[in-house]
Copies of this chain bind each other. A is one copy, B any other.
């Protein structure tokens, strides 16, 4: 099986440039003070649809179009952010989008998909329903992580980080492994000494389990974690291979640590973030990863689709 390489990511960057935002990399004075190193936040919550996901979804559809294989419809499955991204990409390119989402999905995430014209099918069996929809419509699935085109799209974040700063450590939230696989590939090609570490919720650690088992592990359905965007039911074959090759380490963090880091990182950065986006800070605080004293750390803030504060 071929791995994604840095040329694939460079090609993705050119392909998706008209469709996605180059998000800011923001210095956090508060987090730098706390952690004793320079901390920057890659603010993918400011990306279209409120998460990094349009990078991969746009790259997949645009790649298929280049090959003369753009379908009229695609299906997918998602906790919400990938669903909105596929709907966003589909609207740009005239592709109808239907996605299966958990029945427990946050209302704001369902609304977000519909805002971009996507159709949502609630289910307790994400993958099964997605496969059913693909058969029903006789159309391809634009999977959330286990596609080389998706990984290459997410990897464009790594290129952008290196264009702005020379980090010693990059911490990346991990669900199915597409984001960390793509980013690590881009970073290691140009900055081999920079450590890239993935962070999973301990309650939904499909990648950690698969790395230990040496094969894809399917987690029980519906594992609840506050970091709902990282609740992938399994790590894919493509992403696992990519993670094994390029990622230095994958660690996991407890729910309580994520829950405590969530409001603190919002207060420190003044960005609306979803819990999935703060697992890197949680890992540093819990000692699961050590910040290089006086070094430069990038936290990839993967998304901001959370309910806002109210009076």
Contacts and interface: CB of A to CB of B under 8 A. Distances in A.
Nearest to A111: B267
Interface stretch (A232-240, A282-290, A303-311): A303-311
Given A48-B29, A50-B270, A271-B271, A308 B24 contact: no
A304 B270 contact: yes
Given A108-B267, A267-B108, A226 B311 contact: yes
B308 A307 contact: no
A127 interface: no
Contacts of A48: 29
A270 B267 contact: no
A309 B308 contact: yes
A190 to B, nearest CB: 25
A270 B309 contact: no
Interface in A252-311: 259, 262-263, 266-267, 269-272, 275, 304, 306-311
Q: Which of A108, A309, A311 has the most CB of B within 10 A?
A: A309
Contact of A263 (B21, B45, B267, B310): B310
A93 interface: no
Contacts of A226: 311
A33 to B, nearest CB: 9
Contacts of A263: 307-310
Given A270-B46, A270-B272, A309 B311 contact: no
A309 B262 CA distance: 9
A259 B309 CA distance: 11
Contacts of A202: none
A286 to B, nearest CB: 18
Nearest to A273: B270
Query: How many copies of this chain does one complex carry?
Result: 2
Given A24-B24, A270-B45, A270-B272, A307 B309 contact: yes
A26 interface: yes
Contact of A309 (B21, B45, B309): B309
Interface string A28-46: 0100000000000000011
Contact of A26 (B27, B46, B310): B46
A21 B269 CA distance: 13
A311 B26 contact: no
Contacts of A307: 263, 267, 309
12 contacts: A45-B270, A46-B269, A50-B270, A108-B267, A259-B311, A262-B311, A266-B272, A266-B308, A267-B308, A270-B272, A272-B309, A308-B309
Interface of A: 21, 24, 26-27, 29, 45-46, 48, 50, 108, 226, 259, 262-263, 266-267, 269-272, 275, 304, 306-311
Return the 5 tightest CB-CB contacts between A and B, nearest first: A270-B304, A266-B308, A263-B308, A45-B270, A309-B309
Given A50-B270, A262-B310, A267-B272, 7 more contacts: A46-B270, A262-B308, A267-B307, A267-B308, A272-B272, A272-B309, A275-B311
